[in-house]
């Protein structure tokens, strides 16, 4: 798993470097701000999952590294905006000062805007993929990132601050805010690899269960995690008066819920056999994640 992950991450980081070097920035500070967050490290989880989903269907996921990079650009934009004072007001991300702490609120907003927009430019310029497929995945990703997906989930998150919400509402919130991009990454990899209807349904189920388990373990880490390993202070959910799986259930019950989702995700991968071994191992490792 480590070798597989390192290979994919290396491809993604190299491609990100080349993609951005192709651009002529009108403003050097904007370019620096974009690169500051885009190249700050991180697990590159969503783009790796896109490529791994294509591998699971039987294609060569490495061929889709540029589209995977577009997914990372969208994720990075969301982190920049999520850290802003008007949102979660965080000072650290991936062990570094957040973008607005270095470049100011206004430039951080513009850097996020630029990364989101550039992501679709990268997708549209992928000439090795049939235009009809590019249109399909553009629709898939834009829906996941927009008001019916991640942004809608963030809006629900803001409206849920300082009040108690029920478990069903919390799950709906995080299915959009966190789960939508995981779902889009996995489904995009499957679509690029020409997955049939049954394969795409299995991948979608995996992605939904992965997203739920990821969020639950994220909530657990916010209570018992280590600041240095997470890359930002723990306790931010409590600071922002947010309901979480831990606060609504308990640490032990939240862990049981994550275990069930992980088992469901593993089961969803059965049709792919050994080709999905990385995705299978990835979801199993969620309970032991430290960041």
How do residues 20-62 score in pLDDT, each as one tens digit? 766 667 888 999 999 999 998 889 999 999 999 999 999 999 9
Q: Which has the minimum average pLDDT: 19-33, 85-99, 130-144? A: 19-33
Read off the DSSP letter of residue 163: S
Instruction: Encode burial over 111-130: b for 16+ CB neighbours within 10 A, e otherwise.
Output: bbebbbebbbebbeebeebe
CATH code, domain with 198: 1.10.600.10
Which pLDDT score, from 0 to 100, does residue 21 have? 67
The total of structural domains in the chain comes to: 1
Q: Tokens representing 33?
A: 């701000």
Q: Can you name the residues that pair with 93 across neighbouring β-strands?
A: 96
Which pLDDT score, from 0 to 100, does residue 202 have? 98
Question: Which ranges constitute the DSSP H helices of the chain?
Answer: 2-21, 28-38, 45-57, 65-82, 99-103, 105-124, 131-145, 150-159, 167-177, 179-192, 197-224, 227-230, 236-239, 245-248, 251-268, 277-284
- pTM for this prediction: 0.92
Q: How far is CA 75 from CA 59, 60, 174, 195, in A?
A: 24, 23, 15, 24
pLDDT band at 162 (very low <50, low <70, confident <90, very high): confident
Residue range of the domain that includes 269: 2-288
Helix/strand/coil for 96: strand
């Amino acid at each position: 798993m480590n070798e597989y992950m390192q290979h994919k991450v290396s491809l993604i980081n190299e491609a990100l470097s080349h993609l951005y070097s192709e651009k002529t920035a009108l403003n050097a500070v904007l370019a620096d701000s974009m690169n500051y967050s885009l190249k700050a490290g991180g697990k590159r989880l969503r783009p790796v999952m896109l490529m791994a989903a294509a591998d699971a269907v039987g294609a060569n996921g490495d061929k889709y590294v540029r589209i995977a990079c577009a997914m990372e650009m969208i994720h990075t934009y969301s982190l920049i905006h999520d850290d802003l004072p008007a949102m979660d007001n965080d000072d650290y991300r991936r062990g570094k000062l957040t973008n607005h702490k270095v470049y100011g609120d206004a430039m951080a907003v513009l850097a996020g805007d630029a990364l989101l927009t550039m992501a679709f430019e990268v997708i549209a310029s992928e000439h090795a993929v049939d235009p009809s497929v590019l249109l399909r995945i553009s629709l898939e990703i834009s829906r996941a990132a927009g008001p019916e997906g991640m942004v809608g989930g963030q809006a629900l998150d803001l409206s849920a601050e300082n009040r108690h919400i029920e478990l069903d509402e919390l799950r709906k919130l995080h299915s959009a805010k966190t789960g939508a991009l995981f779902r889009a990454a996995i489904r995009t990899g499957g679509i690029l690899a020409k997955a049939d209807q049954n394969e795409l349904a299995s991948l979608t189920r995996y992605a939904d269960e992965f997203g739920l388990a990821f969020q639950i373990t994220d909530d657990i880490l916010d209570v018992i995690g280590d600041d240095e390993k997470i890359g930002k202070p723990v306790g931010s959910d409590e600071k922002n008066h947010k309901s979480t799986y831990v606060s609504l259930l308990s640490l032990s019950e939240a862990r049981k819920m994550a275990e069930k989702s992980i088992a469901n995700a593993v089961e969803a991968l059965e049709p792919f056999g050994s080709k999905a071994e990385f995705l299978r191992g990835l979801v199993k490792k969620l309970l032991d994640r430290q960041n």
